[in-house]
Amino acid sequence: MIELRRAAQAYLVVLAIAAMSALTIAVALSSPPSISRLVLAAAFVALVTVAYVRPLHFAHKTKVALGTSVLFAAVLLFDPALAMLVCLVGVSIAHLIQREPTVQTVFNASLITLEVAAAAFLLTIVDWQYDGFVVVTPSHILGLISAMGVIYFSNTVLVAGMVSLQTRLSMWHVWRQSVAFGHAEDASQFILGLLAAVMVDVHVWTLPLFLLPAAVLYRSMAQHLQLLQQTIDALEALADVVDLRDPYTANHSRRVSVYARELATELELSPDEVDLIERAARVHDVGKLIVDQAVLSKPGKLDPEEWQALEQHPVTGADILSRFPLLTLATSYVRHHHEALDGTGYPDRLAGDAIPLGARIIAVADSFDAMASARPYRGALPRDVVLREFETKAGKQWDPAVVTVLLGLIEAGRITFPGNATIPHLYDRHGQLVPLPAAF
């Protein structure tokens, strides 16, 4: 069940009223369609349904469906009222099949209806012929380009508005991040929709041929998504290997990633930046793979040579991540998560704002888990000791703004102390507890 904030609820009501008003006006101004157009419309309802039933879930919580191709083709082939009905019915059926929450169904149905209404309005201005169209005049070409643009921007702007109201993040940041992704795929979908409309307008029997390039595009996007996920899984597996080398640090990286995400979200960073910080925190200690196990689990004080070896792990971790384009932007966060605000940290002795904000956030999350968890040489520090340590060294070791947010989240119960548990646990990528191998 999706719980919307009051502002988001009002926004949804406005969108739904606007969509229904646009549809009502379009129906009132349209003529009854012929039987052949109704049959073609029914076929497009099926295509819209199929396209939206299986969206691809990309990084940064983004869903991508092939519906834009079918939607754009419907805008070109049908008069405004019929195009809006085709897309509205198809999207609604898809959401019902997937048993999506009512709020999500209403939002997406209203969004699609408004996109189609805006695009159809622009085509009407240039006297577009929906039955037997021929693109010959400059105004027709301008109308096509404008229809593509209004579909794209109305979608991204309206979605950004909902996300902004629900998360209280800057709408500008949300929109900017949404349009920074998938330009090639978006352009391909519009071109595919145009080609499908031309084919169907000339010979309606060619409609099934539209499915082949659509399937190829979908498969290409799915393979791209699979490659991204496999990269993430491989790096997270390396992070788990580091944690499992010592039962006292089991799940350390997972906890730090959770804390870092809470901190970044509370600091109102953009969704992409929050995700990047969370991902960097998840693998922040991957460089410890080259550190001797005896050094990592030594109960006493490290000698200078051991310290030198340990201080290289952020550098090694950043070098490993730099080989993966998906995490190139996160390398500086991993390299500098042991820097101190006063310049006494390592490996580069950076100070103040020279330390990337993501690294400062991970440093606070990492230090909190280190102090609040049991170690081979001590138990977990008491709550008051941990809080006093942060209060004392804020502005020296840690960013005071990040520390303030951490203390507020602890007070609110959104970040809790892991305690003295020394029995290691491992969770899969879905957050489910899985048993450790017997050999462990």
Q: What is the pLDDT of residues 194-215, one digit of tens each?
A: 887 887 777 766 667 666 666 6
Task: Kindly report which listed range (171-180, 360-369, 375-384, 400-409) carries the lowest average pLDDT score.
Answer: 171-180
Residue 326 has pLDDT above 90, yes or no: no
| Residues whose CB is less than 8 angstroms from the CB of residue 415 and which lie 6 or more positions away in sequence, other chains included | 259, 262, 368, 406, 409
pLDDT at 12: 93
The secondary structure element, H or E, covering residue 434 is strand 433-434
Q: How far apart are CA 362 and CA 344, in angstroms?
A: 17
Total H helices, total E strands in the chain: 18, 4
Lowest mean pLDDT among 7-11, 57-61, 158-162, 325-329: 57-61
Does the predicted model carry a pTM greater than 0.85? no
Mean pLDDT of 355-374: 90
Neighbours of 281 (CB within 10 A): 32
pLDDT in tens, 242-270: 666 655 555 788 889 889 999 998 888 87
Write down the mean pLDDT value for the chain.
80
Q: How much is the pLDDT for 113? A: 95
For β-strands 62-64 and 433-434, DSSP reports them as: unpaired
8 Å CB contact between 70 and 89: no
Tell me the per-residue pLDDT of 14-31, one tens digit each, with 9 for 90 and over: 999 999 999 999 999 988
And the tokens for 245?
Answer: 């080398």
* The pLDDT of residue 365 is above 90: yes
Which alpha helices (DSSP H) does 35-98 contain, by range?
35-53, 67-77, 80-98
> What's the confidence (pLDDT) of residue 430?
44
Spatial contact of 54 and 94, defined as CB atoms under 8 Å apart? no
pLDDT value at 2 more than 70:
no
- Rounded Cα–Cα distance for residues 165 and 175 (Å): 12
Q: Can you spell out the DSSP letters for 322-365?
A: TT-GGGGGGHHHHHTTT--TTS--SSS---GGGS-HHHHHHHHH
- The number of residues making up the chain comes to 440
pLDDT given at position 309: 79
